[in-house]
């Protein structure tokens, strides 16, 4: 029944590791996003996909690579994790006129 | 540059009191405007949105917001706050339904008995 789901909810890992976060939406939306929320709660867009195509790629290290196998899924792969990558990552989706619907977030902690 | 400003970092109100959270935007044209709420450890839930038309919009949980073009503002209000309203509130703006939102830095609401 969940509209936008993310896995895992928590991710604790060592520096230098590679990890992935998965996102799925069952709303039929064409557009999906990844946002990063830092320790001060500030939300910033990272990527935006429309119908599986990358539309927006903000100033994000190329260690971050999104992949959209179909328009219901948008995964985020992170290589060579650094301490500064620790944050909460939110997936969202939207359709014209709906506003954005957010997933529950993935809290990433890099040790 | 497009921006959204929430002037109040933290607000404390008594349960049952009225609430107003401020939001100002800076955009080339009238943007789409949103208010989201984030409870601790949770994702963001959409409270209400303004695209066009009636400048007073009603949302969920008894919230409303008023768009004032002359002041570039979209303030969130609630006539009587409940303890469960304690959360972080984010104002956001976008150019259309399918562009990423620009978020304000959030206002943390505390509710006291």
Q: Residue A16: give the domain boundaries.
A: 4-110
Residue B97 is predicted with a pLDDT of 57
Please list the pLDDT of chain A residue by residue as tens digits (111 residues): 669 999 999 999 999 999 999 999 999 999 999 999 998 889 999 999 988 888 877 778 999 999 999 989 999 999 999 999 999 999 999 987 778 899 999 999 999
Give kind and range of the element (H or E) at residue B36.
strand B32-38
CATH number at residue A52: 2.60.40.10
Confidence of residue B96 (pLDDT cuts 50, 70, 90): low
Whole-angstrom Cα distance, residue B5 to residue B80? 24
What pLDDT score was predicted for residue B95?
78
- Is there a contact between A21 and A89 (Cβ–Cβ < 8 Å)? yes
The DSSP secondary-structure symbol of A63 reads T
Output the pLDDT for position B105: 95
A94 and B98: CB-CB below 8 Å? yes
| Tally of structural domains, chain A | 1
Per-domain residue ranges of chain B: 3-112
> What mean pLDDT do residues B69-93 have?
96
Query: Can you identify the CATH homologous superfamily of domain B3-112?
Result: Immunoglobulins (2.60.40.10)
CB pairs under 8 A between A and B: 55
Whether B23 shows a pLDDT value over 70: the answer reads: yes
Using a CB-CB cut-off of 8 Å, the residues of chain B touching A100 are 34, 46, 101
Identify any residues that bridge with A49 across adjacent strands, giving them in sequence order.
A32, A54
pLDDT in the model for residue A96: 78
CA dist., res. A81 & res. B36, Å (int): 30
């Amino acid at each position: 029944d969940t509209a936008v789901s993310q896995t895992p909810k928590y991710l604790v890992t060592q520096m230098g590791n590679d990890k992935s976060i998965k996102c799925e939406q069952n709303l039929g939306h064409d557009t999906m996003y990844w946002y990063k929320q830092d320790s001060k709660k500030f939300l910033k867009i990272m990527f935006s996909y429309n119908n599986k195509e990358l539309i927006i790629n903000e100033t994000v290290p190329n260690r971050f690579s999104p992949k959209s196998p179909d328009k219901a899924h948008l995964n985020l792969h992170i290589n060579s994790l650094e301490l500064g990558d620790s944050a909460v990552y939110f997936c969202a989706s939207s359709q014209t006129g709906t506003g954005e619907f957010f997933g529950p977030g993935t809290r990433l902690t890099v040790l | 540059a497009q921006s959204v400003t929430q002037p109040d970092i933290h607000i404390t109100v008594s349960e049952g009191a009225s609430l107003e959270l401020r939001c100002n935007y800076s955009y080339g044209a009238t943007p789409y405007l949103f208010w989201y709420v984030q409870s601790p450890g949770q994702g963001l839930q959409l409270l209400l949105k303004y695209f066009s038309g009636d400048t007073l919009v009603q949302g969920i949980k008894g919230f409303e917001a008023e768009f004032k073009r002359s002041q570039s503002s979209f303030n969130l209000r609630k006539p009587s706050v409940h303890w469960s309203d304690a959360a972080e509130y984010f104002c956001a703006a976008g150019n259309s339904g399918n562009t990423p939102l620009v978020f304000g830095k959030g206002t943390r609401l505390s509710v006291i008995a």
